[in-house]
Amino acid sequence: MSIKYTTAIVAMLFLFAQAAYGQCACCAGAASSSGAFNNGIFTLPQKQFVLEAYADFRTIRGGDSTVPLGDNEAPLKNMLITSLGVRYGLSDKITLSALLPYAFLYTNYGNDKGLGDAMVLGTFEVFSGSHTRLALQGGIELPTGVQKSSNFDNTTVVLGSGSYDPAGGILAAYHRGKFALQANLFYKYTTKGIHGNYYSSVFTQNAVLSYRLTGAQTAFCSSDVKRTAKNDFGLTIFGGYYGEGLDKLVEDGIPDDNSGYYLGFFNVGGNVFYKNWGVPITFSTPIFQHLNGEQNEAGLRLKIGIVRSF
């Protein structure tokens, strides 16, 4: 598998972690990115737990093309990234979270799978007004991901960076009535990892507008038992923009000109919650792609989550 696809895998697993956090059925901003569910809340109530599982199916344009295996290149045609996560409200202003991805890779020459890098984050609400909230994030990506011989060519599949990478972001939300608007910026600084290689720092941006069709805006993660009991069922729909940018990979001290990109997506979806359960769904389509050198373009994406609040 060519290094440009390796770069994409490592980066996609980190970006998936961000998107899954953004899908949180309880708090849209407990981590950043796709903003699949937006209720204008960034932190959990104190002592509340949330367990979550996600599946993210991604297509890659041109992945069905046939190439000689002698070129050490087997293009990915699609990926399925699953994950398990947990969040805990340390206080009403601080939420801790962790997410661990597991990826399944598909090509015309065979399939593969493996564990990705774990993400640990803290979200700190720094301002809370009647309609506006602001929060900061900080955390680290841990080198739990694997590197192994490929099942579909004679190269190596790298699902983890092999490095400890700091990350941080800022989140802002404005809500009035049944509408909520959220925006966030998030950056991960990637350090040298496996064999001293550099697997690209990542910068993401997100803006999303949501509308609550039914149910209380904070019913799912409210610490008010009476309020939650009166709003067992809730439904929110949303639409917005999500962008992700990576710089070039550096292997053996040489920048790869066929790596690095900026992608822009239009997201649409919704979240259904009932009592302590939530099911967020996001459909993404690329609307802008700038790729360095020769790389396959991103295709459609579908993310589905199951979330349980305790």
- Residue 256 sits in a domain whose CATH number is 2.40.160.40
What is the per-residue pLDDT for 70?
47
What is the per-residue pLDDT for 9?
63
Nearest in space to 111 (alpha carbons), one of 156, 152, 153, 69 = 152
Domain holding 78, by residue range, is: 3-309
What is the per-residue pLDDT for 67?
53
Considering the entire predicted model, what is its pTM?
0.84
Task: Show Cβ contacts of residue 284 under 8 Å, excluding neighbours closer than 6 positions.
Answer: 34, 242, 265, 266, 267, 300, 301, 302, 303
Instruction: Look at the chain and count its residues.
Output: 310
Q: How far apart are CA 165 and CA 143, in angstroms?
A: 8
Task: Show Cβ contacts of residue 108 under 8 Å, excluding neighbours closer than 6 positions.
Answer: 63, 64, 66, 74, 75, 77
What is the b/e burial string over 163-181, where b = at least 16 CB atoms within 10 angstroms of the residue's CB? bebebbbbbbbebeeeebb
Number of domains in the chain: 1
What is the per-residue pLDDT for 230?
54
Q: What are the structure tokens assigned to 75, written together?
A: 């293009």
pLDDT in tens, the chain (310 residues): 443 454 456 555 666 555 544 444 344 333 333 333 334 457 888 898 889 999 999 998 875 665 544 455 667 789 999 999 999 999 989 999 999 999 998 888 888 888 999 999 999 999 988 889 899 999 999 999 888 777 777 666 778 888 999 999 999 989 888 888 999 999 999 999 888 888 889 999 999 999 989 875 444 444 444 444 456 788 889 999 999 999 988 888 899 888 889 999 999 999 888 888 889 999 999 999 999 988 888 999 999 999 888 8
- 120 DSSP β-pair partners: 98, 140
For the chain, give the longest Cα–Cα distance: 65
Q: How far apart are CA 257 and CA 148, in angstroms?
A: 24
